[in-house]
Structure 1
Amino acid sequence: MSPREWSVQQSLEIPLPPRTVYAALADVRRMPEWSPEVIGVWSRGARFVGFNRKACWVWFTTCRIVVADPEREFAFDVTTFGLPVARWGYRLTPAGEGTLVTEYWVDHRRGGARGRVAELLGLVFTGTPAARRAARNRAAMRTTLHRLSAALRAAA
């Protein structure tokens, strides 16, 4: 058995400037357009609730924007019932006429009773065991980045 992965990232170059990409990512209400898991977002300033679905599993998460550095990085921390879950983010790097977009995820469900409860809730809500979470997120990131690119290019 291979060791558990606590973080993953995927990158894709999008042929648009960082300001365009950042503006889309920072409008969290648009996340359902490109995420294969997010089906809705209720936003209240720097906090939002994400409604998610995978097959027959449906769940929500509470999120707080923690990095909002225009044209460089956008990230938010995810919790469920007050328990830490993960950080999701996007780093933007100018690349010629476009932007290299790197989506990243860092699992925050580590150790202690709270970590174990968060792990259990993650399995119950999503149906994904901890050992498979990184691979699943990596695949979802590829889908997200390609859909983001297609949506932004179509709007340009």
Structure 2
Amino acid sequence: MATGRGAGERERGRVWGVEESVVVSASPGDVYALLADVRRMREWSPEVFWVWRRGRRFVGFNRKAFFVWFTSCRISVAEPARHFAFDVTVFGLPIARWGYRLEEAGGGGSLVTEYWVDHRRERRRGRVADLLGLVFTGTPPARRAEMNRAGMRTTLRRLKGACERAA
């Protein structure tokens, strides 16, 4: 079961980052191997339906209800068995960092923490990015953290199942 850690970083009533964790019956190295193959993200994420990868960069194609959008991503942290993260942009505007921290848990398992940090703080460009987010995803900025937390719980539950089936 995924568990939230912390209320997230708040500024003027908006949450700028959230994280969720789950214990998985697989080694950090095995979990990392699955996460580092970003094309498999569509198996776990409730929004991603396809990924096109080119080296450290990839494009994620996403959908929620009848909304469909794409994001440009760059792998920013790749520490096997420890940490995997990527930065997301849309039309060159910084959007967020998504990542996974991995720690050993008892019995050969792993504590997997998924996190999201919103990068739309810059006043002018942030407003444009917020507007694009609303238009493309239908999610207002004030609800983004809540929606991402729910998506993380689904992602972690599915990742846990995939890891444990593979182990």
TM-score (norm 2): 0.91
Aligned residues: 155
Partner of 1:105: 116
CA distance in 2, matches of 1:127, 1:138: 16
Residue 50 of structure 1 deviates from its aligned partner by: 0.1
Amino acid in structure 2 at the alignment position of 1:39: F
1:115-139 deviation line (CA, Å, top 9, x unaligned): 1110100000000000000010001
CA distance in 1, matches of 2:80, 2:163: 17
CA distance in 2, matches of 1:154, 1:94: 19
The ranges of structure 1 where at least 4 consecutive aligned residues each deviate by more than 6 angstroms after the TM superposition are none
CA distance in 2, matches of 1:103, 1:152: 15
1:53-73 deviation line (CA, Å, top 9, x unaligned): 000000000000000000000
Note the aligned Cα RMSD (angstroms): 0.9
1:81-109 deviation line (CA, Å, top 9, x unaligned): 00000000000010112000000000000
Q: Percent identity?
A: 70
Partner of 1:86: 96
Residue 155 of structure 1 deviates from its aligned partner by: 2.1
Q: Specify every segment of 5 or more residues in structure 2 that has no aligned partner in the other structure, as ranges.
A: 1-11
Amino acid in structure 1 at the alignment position of 2:83: E
Which secondary structure does the structure 1 equivalent of 2:161 belong to? helix
Moved more, 41-50 or 145-154: 145-154
Partner of 1:65: 75
Work out whether 1:53 is the aligned partner of 2:63: yes
Residue 113 of structure 1 deviates from its aligned partner by: 1.5
